[in-house]
Structure 1
Amino acid sequence: MAQAQAQHTSEQQPYFVPTHSKWPLFASVALFIAMFGLASWFNDVSWGPTVFGIGVAGLALVLMKWFADVILESVSGYYNKQVDTSFRMGMIWFIFSEIMLFAAFFGALFYTRMLSVPWLGGEGVKGVATNDFLWQGFSSSWPSAGPMEVGGGFELVSAWGLPLLNTLILLTSGVTLTIAHHALKAENRRQLLIWLGVTIILGAIFLVSQAMEYVHAYRDLNLTMGSGIYGSTFYMLTGIHGVHVTLGAIILAVVWWRCFKGHFTGENHFAFEAAAWYWHFVDVVWLALFLFVYVV
């Protein structure tokens, strides 16, 4: 009865306006605590890690409650087609902002590799002073730790080992997620849960494999965050991508639980689609990473 009334309300109102929420305020407080703790941690304050952990835990709790409210509004029938359109536009702009984020990181890699290192090696007008007076004898090559070999010598992670395996894993996860999407449209609940679960497992395998790669790079190859410009760009790009895979796997796990609870239909399942968009975006970014960080 209540759901039917809510559905009737959503049809009558041109746009659903939720009541005032306390979660933005709580999220701001938790985020401030986390950043304050992180800054203290970086400055070697003993209680910095504890405060940072409290802030992160608080932020996670706030987000869980906040999203729970949104899910409750959805299953209660408050959202109409106009709200669905707004959600889609919001997700598109969010992914666009993520594209710009990775564009900045790739831009740093290309600027360093194509301009900065050659200039230090004497190429072009800008490279004359640096190579003759500042860093005499520096040879322009990539990968490079920069002048003075900051961090010492290092070896590269082979593209045809764990990185290739991770590429195949993510490509396969994109296929299994697409199969799960078609199963949802056909309202085949069993196939949906199986293939979506396989996608989550593949994401977890990717993260474990990447952790093994980092251990190998640090322990055996001396490739660390301190290995000059190459080490910093390598871990910056692969690390931020790993964070996105982690978030994507968590989102897919939540969607899997919602599918198990029967929240979606073949016609109404934007949360699943948004998670799928995000996961496919992560896949595409990894292909660019594999090509420009590991292969080329």
Structure 2
Amino acid sequence: GFGGLSLTVGGVGMFSGQGYLLFEFGLLILVLTVWQWWRDVIREGTYLGLHTYVVVYGLKWGMVLFIVSEVLFFLSFFWAFYHSSLSPVLEVGSVWPPVGIEVFNPFQIPLLNTAILLASGVSVTWAHHALMEGDWGGGLVALAITFGLGAYFSILQGYEYYEAGFSIADSVYGSVFFMATGFHGFHVLIGSTFLLVCLIRHYLNHYSE
């Protein structure tokens, strides 16, 4: 909790030009917390045999509730976008996109990133079925492909941000765009990290059917 709070407040300070120290401190605490959490999960599930049916059932329902909360979280950003675009106010020129905003071509990087995400969904499903069927090699290849696609997506999004002709401070369009795509990109980074851990664990034969 303290690491997340430090990361959030530090991020606000970083965007406000007040330095990176608090943000880096929060990030360090978060990384250490995640490292210890993964260490305990691997130790309990692989070596101690503590992941019983009841524990696994609880973990599955925890993931379901997490996904539901994420759907509602991103729904708020879509709501903000449609509310602002369907009835643009006078402050943005009564048009959408607002006056002075040079938008991205949706058929370039956005379309490519969409294809990458869809392809990663196919490859991670392949990995899932390979694990269930005991196909060690297929699971390893599929997880590696999925991680590579996630990393490629993050690189392309970083390039897209670098080439953007507007910032988070440029009207409601910039705010909604960078908040929604930024949080989505953050989720991709976290998911790619999880996939990398799964890839390493699969290589070390931590999984069974």
TM-score after normalising by structure 2: 0.90
For the residue of structure 1 that corresponds to 2:20, the secondary structure is helix
Match of 1:246 among 189, 192, 199: 189
Kindly indicate whether residue 153 of structure 2 is the aligned counterpart of residue 206 of structure 1. Answer: yes
Residues 16-45 of structure 1: per-residue CA shift (max 9 Å, x gap): xxxxxxxxxxxx443454455446546654
Which runs of 5 or more residues in structure 2 are unaligned?
Answer: none
Please name the residue that 1:264 is paired with: 207
**What CA distance in whole angstroms lies between the structure 1 residues aligned with 2:135 and 2:83?**
49
Kindly indicate whether residue 33 of structure 2 is the aligned counterpart of residue 62 of structure 1. Answer: yes
Residues 81-134 of structure 1: per-residue CA shift (max 9 Å, x gap): 11111111111001111111101111111111224x1xx35xxxxxxxxxxxxx
Kindly indicate whether residue 172 of structure 2 is the aligned counterpart of residue 233 of structure 1. Answer: no
Please name the residue that 1:91 is paired with: 63
- Evaluate the alpha carbon distance shift between residue 97 and residue 181 of structure 1 in structure 2; reply closer, same or farther with a 3 A threshold: same
Residues 226-257 of structure 1: per-residue CA shift (max 9 Å, x gap): 32121211111111111111111001101111
For the residue of structure 2 that corresponds to 1:232, the secondary structure is helix
**What CA distance in whole angstroms lies between the structure 1 residues aligned with 2:82 and 2:126?**
36
- Evaluate the alpha carbon distance shift between residue 233 and residue 51 of structure 1 in structure 2; reply closer, same or farther with a 3 A threshold: closer
Aligned Cα RMSD in Å?
2.1
Kindly indicate whether residue 128 of structure 2 is the aligned counterpart of residue 155 of structure 1. Answer: no
Residues 39-62 of structure 1: per-residue CA shift (max 9 Å, x gap): 6546654xx412321221122112
Shift of 1:214: 1.5
Please name the residue that 2:77 is paired with: 105
Please name the residue that 2:51 is paired with: 79
Taking only the aligned residue pairs, the percentage that are identical comes to 35
- Evaluate the alpha carbon distance shift between residue 57 and residue 139 of structure 1 in structure 2; reply closer, same or farther with a 3 A threshold: closer
For the residue of structure 2 that corresponds to 1:223, the secondary structure is coil
For the residue of structure 1 that corresponds to 2:94, the secondary structure is coil
Which runs of 5 or more residues in structure 1 are unaligned?
Answer: 1-27, 122-134, 146-152, 267-296
Correspondence 1:116-155 to 2 at 5 A: 117=88, 120=89, 140-145=94-99, 153-155=100-102
Residues 173-230 of structure 1: per-residue CA shift (max 9 Å, x gap): 111111111111111111111111011001111111111112222xxxx222232121
**Total equivalences in the alignment:** 208
Moved runs in structure 1, 4+ residues, more than 3 A?
Answer: 28-45
